[in-house]
Amino acid sequence: MKLVLQYPTAKDMSQATQEELRKALISVGAKTIATKASVTLSEYLPHTLAVQVPHLIERQTWLIEEALRIEEAIESIDKQISVLLRGDKDKQIPPHPYTALLKSFPIMSDVMACTLIGAIGDVERFSNYLEFKKYLGVAAENKTSGISVSKSRQTYEGVRDTRRILFLMVLVLISPNTKINLFKHYYDRLVNGRGMSKRKAIGHVCGKIAQVMYSCLKNNQMYDPVLHAKHLGVPWDEKCLDIRMPKNVDELESKAAEFSEEIV
């Protein structure tokens, strides 16, 4: 995009020398391909038909400038997230006390951790894990009809962003391509052992993550899969897995957003 700001049309670019194009490509960050690309452009541009449409050039320039401003804003937000999580020694800003605890979970990106920290604030304001789960939007509540209780369902209260984050965590953890982990084991137990529907089981795993998270934050302890396995009654001697975001994370994010709006 920055190159197009320098040369808005093919005609403008055709009037530049190969060396000028090479330097322009380097200035916009294409150093590794600058020489080869500039030679190719110099070869083909003189034979390119170009129509000058001034009002379209103005619109094109405006769109590119706006896109670059958005890109700069995103980079600035990423830096602010990094400072919040990891601190800044030069500015004497310490890391957030919850960063290492949240990052000890099998899946936890910077954006996830920042969203959770922003929503949770101080874990001490929650008297128990049930309050914590409800606030995060993943607690179970009884569905009533008149004076009778028909069944339980996931609450529709709580912070939407944290509920979306927890659903995304679960969808990544139970993905077929994800290595076996205790949350995936818990999900399989609910679906295959108890006959629970997959959608409902996903909600239960969200609640389980919130419960474990509350315990870690409350006790200032890293997530310990061995201790977690002991509570689940599952043999486990592996260290915590560092699970990375899958390639289809955009698809999972969309599904997580849909799930976070449903009442099940």
Write a three-state SS string for 212-237: HHHHHHHHCCCCCHHHHHHHHCCCCC
| Mean pLDDT in consecutive groups of 10 residues from the start of the chain, 264 residues | 82 85 88 89 80 78 89 86 86 91 92 92 94 90 54 70 94 90 92 91 93 95 89 74 78 90 70
- Neighbouring CB atoms inside 10 A of 155's CB total 19
Whole-number pLDDT of residue 148: 47
- Give the three-state DSSP class for 74: helix
Q: Do 85 and 113 meet the contact criterion of CB atoms below 8 Å apart?
A: yes
By C-alpha distance, which of 94, 52, 104, 142 is closest to 220? 104
pTM of the model: 0.72
Whole-number pLDDT of residue 41: 87
Whole-number pLDDT of residue 152: 61
Whole-number pLDDT of residue 130: 92
Residue 88 pairs with which residues in a beta bridge?
Answer: 93
- Neighbouring CB atoms inside 10 A of 167's CB total 26
